Copies of this chain bind each other. A is one copy, B any other.
Amino acid sequence: MSVSRPRSGQIDQGPLRIIPLGGVGEIGKNMLAIEIGDDIVVVDAGLMFPDEEMLGIDFVIPDIGYLRSRKAKVRGFLITHAHEDHIGALPYVLRDFIDVPIYGTKLTLGLIRTKLREHKLADRATFHEIAPGGPFTIGPVRCDSYYVCHSIPDAIGVTVETPYGTIVHSGDWKFDHTPVDGRQTDFARLAAIAAKGVLLLMSDSTRAEVPGYTQSERHVAEMFDGIMSRAPGRVITTTFASNISRIRQIVDIAAAWGRKTAIVGRSMENYTKTARELGYLEYPEGSIVHPNEIGKLADHEICIITTGSQGEPTRTPIPGNEELVSRTVDNLFKLGAEVIYDPQSRPHVSGHASQEELKLLLNILRPQHFLPIHGEYRMLVRHARMAMDVGVPAEQTFVLTNGDVLEIDAKGARVGEKVQAGVVYVDGLGVGDVSQGVMRDRLSIGSDGIFLVVVTIEQKTGAVVAGPDIVTKGFVPEHDAGDIVEEAKHRVLAGLAEAQTGEHLAETAALKDAIHSSVASFLYERTKRRPMVLPVIMQV
């Protein structure tokens, strides 16, 4: 097909560029740019939850510096599905790109609208609904999509036509032969795409470390059925707010066992409301009760579905949250609950493809080039090896990190010069104002506390007229600090006296240095801790 083969006239526009832009540790997870000459299509715009050492940070979003520097080229945001790690950054990204349209399926756009409404952006954004399996264009760029199974309905993989051939971005996916909503990953479309030839496949590596096949979401139903059949009291279940298929199964099974279901939690209420309105979620008549009604029903007549407070994670538990989850399980046991939580017995299956499925997709599409995405580096390496095992040449298989550029033209594919990429911290109202410096300060003062020395000095004479006063937090308890504080005051006065012995009055900066060096090493010797020493000089 001509579309998927290079034509000489188009080679002037330079190579096609693929750039994974966002994700903490994971590559291309939250955002990926496809740059074809003067046109950029951005796939996904999600957020991630902070690592444990990102103190005080609410979440992180992709650094879109590269897109800003090529603002006029950005033609659209193509969203594969409505999970937070694929849509959550839109409210922030749209601040710079409010005129750029958003492309997605019906449910995906419905959930994005709900989110943008909270940020008062829904009315200003432009939406283009796409039907899975139907072609569409983003600016001049011809695209298509295919339905995939994932832990949210209406998820798609996408294809983008380029002068050098068709590229495929898998989105998040698994092969589920018995999906709850009856919609399977679209093998016919995949075969049609393969028939035209695939220049490049980019595929989800989340479970590239897991052998075998991921179980069907339907498996969860069997497990819930067993649990509900045995439960003497209330059944409380937890899942991601967006897992509409899971919620539907729980409501159905609860109803079959004579239980009414209450959905508790703002994000889950929002998701289910939108999914119902758009026709993605149906309940048996009278199977749902308002949370206010819980108290009016006997324990064995109620089932509760709720989310945690951690938003919309991509995995359970979110890495770094294992300890929190364990503690919650412990506390529930202490309250006398029966908790079904371990991998063997809990009713849960992943929404991501395991190794055999990943190889199957590679074998169906037989791409010329392969770029594993959505995973930590070691997962990408595993996925790349699978691609080589099924026949993609090693020199056409690439493992990148965020900001790396994969360039493809008629001569082949190579890694180009790195561009600005990474993450931006969101803390309260601030986006990106928590710099690496602020983060380092937080880690430092959070680990060993602060030790503040304030001195008032007479400008004319250089004499200390008040202080040194010392305030310390997070270092040692204030009531225990007496000795250390007294000794530190003596050292500060001695240090200041020494600094002032010249003919001229010492500069403020020199006095601050004198204070710092007179106490910092003393504090370390005394306690083997390094609180941040903050000298303040007041002049009267």
Contact = CB atoms under 8 A, between A and B. Distances in A.
A204 to B, nearest CB: 18
B445 A456 contact: no
Q: Which of A435, A442, A469 has the most CB of B within 10 A?
A: A442
Interface string A94-136: 0000000000000000000000000000000000000000000
Interface string A317-357: 00110110011011101100001011010000000000000
A344 B433 contact: no
Contacts of A430: 476, 527-529
State the majority secondary structure of interface residues on A: mixed
B438 A56 contact: no
A192 interface: no
B25 A326 contact: yes
Interface residues of A, number: 71
A473 B446 contact: no
B344 A540 contact: no
A319 B322 contact: yes
> What are the nearest 4 A-B pairs in CB distance?
A446-B446, A428-B528, A56-B447, A330-B377
6 contacts: A52-B320, A333-B378, A433-B477, A438-B449, A446-B447, A536-B536
Given A320-B320, A341-B378, A454-B538, 19 more contacts: A55-B446, A319-B322, A319-B326, A331-B377, A334-B377, A334-B401, A427-B448, A428-B529, A429-B527, A434-B476, A442-B446, A445-B446, A446-B447, A452-B534, A454-B454, A471-B534, A471-B536, A473-B532, A473-B534
Interface of A: 25, 51-52, 55-56, 209, 211, 319-320, 322-323, 326-327, 329-331, 333-334, 339, 341-342, 344, 376-378, 381, 401, 427-430, 433-435, 437-439, 441-450, 452, 454, 456, 465-467, 469, 471, 473-477, 480, 526-529, 532, 534, 536, 538-540
